[in-house]
Structure 1
Amino acid sequence: RQIMGEQLNGLSVNELNNLENQLEISLRGVRMKKEQMLTHEIQELSQKRNLIHQENVELSRKVQRIHQENVELYKKAYTTNGFAHRELVVADDESHTQIRLQLSQPDHSDYETPPRGSE
């Protein structure tokens, strides 16, 4: 009870000083243990962060490889199967939007030559 600050009546100044010193020593021990535990927890979290970062880097590389493979497959589809009804979807990684590109035959109506008999 004296450690809790109760029943201090009747203690001499010397006894109160001793009690205070014991409390300070105990408090230092508690703070050291707390610091050790927090330091250990920080180290564990740092290791987890590093593992997650490494996993993120590997997944990003995998996404890039798959994206490149998809681009190559689209290019291959255009060069081997002709142009009819083919479209290419280009994804913008930054804004997550898609642009659809489609090939079509040229419109020759703009380039028709006038009939020969009208000169």
Structure 2
Amino acid sequence: MVRGKTEMKRIENATSRQVTFSKRRSGLLKKAFELSVLCDAEVALIIFSPKGKLYEFSSSRSVKRTVL
């Protein structure tokens, strides 16, 4: 079974938009961690929520110091 292409557009409902942001943020952080482990790569990820809250991931302290 093939999943159809999803149209990218802004989610109008604020609650749905926040839930989607939280789920996608979690998935993105997980993928960044997996990339750092599987490829032995230094990874840094910075995400700002719609309300301006900062979420960050770094695979090592040296990357965190460089980015921040």
- TM-score, normalised to structure 2's length? 0.50
Q: Which of 50, 53, 56 is the aligned partner of 2:14?
A: 56
- Pair 1:68-2:68 in alignment: no
Would you tell me which structure has more helix in proportion to its own residues? 1
1:82 corresponds to which residue? 40
- SS of residue in 1 equivalent to 2:19: helix
| Distance change (3 Å), C-alpha of 1:100 and 1:68 | closer
Q: RMSD across aligned C-alpha pairs, in angstroms?
A: 2.9
Which whole-Å CA distance do the structure 1 matches of 2:57 and 2:27 have between them? 18
State the distance in 2 between where 1:68 and 1:98 align.
Answer: 10
User: Which residue number in structure 1 is paired with residue 4 of structure 2?
Assistant: none
- Would you identify which runs of 4 or more consecutive aligned residues in structure 1 move more than 3 Å? 92-104
Deviation of 1:79 after TM superposition, in Å, equals: 1.1
Identity value in percent: 2
Structure 1's unaligned 5+ residue stretches are 1-51, 105-119
**Deviations 1:29-83 (CA, angstroms, capped at 9, x unpaired):** xxxxxxxxxxxxxxxxxxxxxxx6xx11011100111111100000100111113
Q: 1:58 to 1:98 in 2, by over 3 A?
A: closer
Q: Say if 1:73 and 1:59 are closer, same or farther in 2 by CA, change over 3 A.
A: same
Question: For this pair of structures, how many residues does the alignment match?
Answer: 49
| Distance change (3 Å), C-alpha of 1:71 and 1:60 | same
TM-score, scaled to structure 1: 0.32
Q: Which has the higher contact order (CA 8 A, sep 6+)?
A: 2
